[in-house]
């Protein structure tokens, strides 16, 4: 790596850091002021305002970086080129026989590094905070009751519903589970509360219903099995179940009952693919569009970066504000077209694959066409 490469990368890194810190700072100031009363209430329970703010905003800064990483890479690259042009350093480099392509090559590698960090952040870091990201400031502790989103288990034929849910306890308040006609327990299970339980040696994943009120003779009825797999376990032939309780097997995770889009937005690609293969879930086309979008996003980010750099170099633009305007205009068009294609795919007007890859068919050739004069 030469002196010029280090210099260009140093300018790129400075612009990237300043832009990210400025955008995050603006977001934090606005959001903290809007939710300060809620944070002060949580601070009394969690041992200090700083602890609450750190726990609440650390995952959200990760999602903020994931959302803005294409914009940050383009802004940093464009401002670096504009700085080199305004100080006439790019002219001096070209006069010394160094072509523009050689000068901006480190910027492209830096943009690839930003895209890679964004992918690692999206697939490794953000999924660890999926539960925290699903809560807002008004219910940060997860102790408030929230409306339940009824879900139908395609594998067992049971509709999971109830009065409300409590996220922190993974609890359903007044659950009402409607059964299929094959069950020997009637058509409905009602209880005081139900808790989601992960699979163990004693039982598969599912929901533990306590203080069952319907059917009243639950303890006199045997467990229900389908194709040799447990569906509803009762106390009559299940030693670890106390009287008046039962266990309903279901591969529907508790996050599905919240009705939040974060179940797919903040999940890793592997988790989304597992959800598509889950026989209990009726995943919508939006999950398939999201999976395809994850694979095409690095290519889209690279195309956007090439278009931004090429646009500034072709115009020989030395005004940083004009360059910023062109950059924001390009990014706005990029996001609008991407969101429009995904929306069309979510409404099944296009196949999920076509909806996710269509923006690349537009931006990819455009980026190559605009970048051709630079490399010649």
pLDDT tens-digit series, residues 306-326: 888 887 776 655 565 676 677
Please answer whether residues 245 and 235 qualify as being in contact, where contact means their C-beta atoms are separated by less than 8 angstroms.
yes
User: With helix as H, strand as E and coil as C, how does the chain read?
Assistant: CCHHHHHHHHHHHHHHHHHHHHHHHHHHHHHHHHCHHHHHHHHHHHCCHHHHHHHHHHHHHHHHHHHHHHHHHHHHHHHHHHHHHHCCHHHHHHHCCCCHHHHHHHHHHHHHHHHHHHHHHHHHHHHHHHHHHCCCHHHCCCCCEECCCCEEECCCCEEEECCEEEHHHCEEECCEEECCCCCECECEEEEEEEEEECCCCCCCCEEEEEEEEECCCHHHCCCEEECCEEEEEECCCCCCCCCCCEEEECCCCHHHHHCCCHHHHCCCHHHHHHHHHCCCCCCCHHHHHHHHHHHHHHHHHHHHHHHHHHHHHHHCCCCHHHHHHHHHHHHHHHHHHHHHHHHHHHCCCCCHHHHHHHHHHHHHHHHHHHHHHHHC
Convert the pLDDT of each residue in 105-137 to its tens digit: 888 899 999 999 999 999 999 998 887 887 877
12-56 pLDDT tens trace: 999 999 999 999 999 999 988 888 888 888 877 777 888 888 888
Pairwise CA distance, residues 120 & 112, whole Å? 12
Q: What is the pLDDT of residues 216-273, one digit of tens each?
A: 888 888 888 888 888 888 888 888 999 989 999 998 888 888 766 556 788 888 888 8
Cα–Cα dist 67/118, whole Å: 9
Provide the pLDDT for residue 16: 92
Contacts of residue 79, Cβ cutoff 8 Å, sequence gap at least 6: 11, 15, 320, 323, 324
For the entire predicted model, the pTM comes to: 0.81
Phi, psi of 163 (to 5 degrees): -80, -45
C-alpha–C-alpha distance, residues 88 and 275, integer Å: 54
Buried-state track 89-127, b at ≥16 Cβ within 10 A, e below 16: bbeebeeeeeebeebbebbbebbeebbeebbeebeebbe
Alpha-carbon distance 172 to 145, whole Å? 9
Task: Give the tens place of pLDDT for each residue, 265-302.
Answer: 888 888 888 888 888 887 778 888 889 899 999 999 88
Minimum mean pLDDT range among 161-170, 310-319, 353-362: 310-319
Q: What pLDDT score does 21 carry?
A: 94
């Amino acid at each position: 790596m030469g002196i010029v490469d280090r210099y260009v990368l140093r300018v790129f890194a400075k612009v990237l850091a300043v832009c990210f810190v400025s955008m995050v700072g603006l977001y934090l100031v606005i959001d903290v002021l809007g939710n300060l009363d809620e944070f002060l209430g949580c601070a009394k329970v969690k041992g200090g305002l700083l602890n609450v703010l750190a726990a609440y905003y650390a995952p959200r800064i990760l999602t903020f970086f994931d959302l803005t990483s294409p914009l940050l890479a383009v802004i940093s690259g464009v401002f670096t080129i504009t700085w080199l042009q305004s100080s006439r350093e790019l002219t001096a480099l070209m006069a010394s026989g160094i072509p523009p392509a050689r000068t901006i090559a480190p910027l492209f590698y830096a943009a690839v590094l930003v895209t890679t960090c964004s992918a690692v952040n999206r697939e490794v870091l953000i999924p660890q905070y999926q539960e925290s990201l699903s809560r807002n400031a008004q219910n940060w502790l997860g102790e408030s009751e929230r409306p339940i989103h009824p879900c139908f288990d395609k594998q067992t034929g049971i509709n999971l519903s109830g009065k409300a849910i409590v996220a922190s306890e993974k609890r359903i308040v007044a659950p009402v589970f409607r059964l299929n006609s094959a069950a020997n327990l009637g058509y409905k299970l009602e209880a005081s509360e139900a808790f989601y339980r992960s699979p163990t040696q004693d039982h598969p994943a599912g929901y533990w219903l306590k203080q069952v009120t319907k059917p009243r003779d639950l303890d006199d009825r045997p467990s229900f099995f389908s194709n040799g797999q447990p569906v509803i376990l009762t106390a009559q032939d299940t030693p670890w179940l106390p009287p008046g309780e039962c266990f309903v097997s279901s591969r529907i995770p508790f996050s599905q009952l919240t009705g939040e889009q974060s179940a797919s937005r903040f999940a890793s690609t592997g988790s989304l693919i597992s959800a598509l293969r889950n026989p209990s879930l009726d995943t919508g086309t939006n999950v398939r569009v999201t999976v395809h979008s994850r694979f095409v996003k690095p290519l889209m980010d690279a195309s956007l970066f090439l278009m931004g750099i090429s646009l500034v170099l072709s115009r020989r633009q030395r005004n940083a504000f004009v360059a910023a305007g062109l950059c924001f205009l390009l990014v706005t068009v990029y996001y609008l077209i991407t969101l429009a294609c995904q929306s069309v795919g979510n409404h099944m007007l296009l196949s999920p694959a076509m909806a996710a890859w269509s923006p690349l068919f537009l931006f990819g050739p455009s980026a190559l066409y605009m970048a051709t004069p630079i490399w010649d």
